Structure 1
Amino acid sequence: YVGENKEFARQYLSGELEVELTPQGTLAERMRAGGAGIGAFFTPTGVGTAVAEGGLPWRYHPDGSIAMASSPKEVRSFHGREMVLEESIVADVALVRCAVADRHGNLRFNKSAQNFNPAVAMSGRLTIVEAERVVEAGEIAPDDVHVPGVFVDRVVELTPEQASRKQIEKATTTPRPEGN
Structure 2
Amino acid sequence: RDLETIEAAIRAAETGHLVFGTLHTTGAAKTIDRLVDAFPVSQQNQIRVQLSTALICVLSQVLLGRIDTKGMVAAYEFLVVTPAIANLIRDNKSYRIDSAIQTGKRYGMQLLDDHLWSLYSRGMIAAEEMVDKCKDQGAIRSKVHQAGGVIGRPELDDPEAAGSDSDE
Which TM-score applies when normalising by structure 2?
Answer: 0.26
Q: Greater helix percent: which structure? A: 2
Q: Greater strand percent: which structure? A: 1
Which TM-score applies when normalising by structure 1?
Answer: 0.25
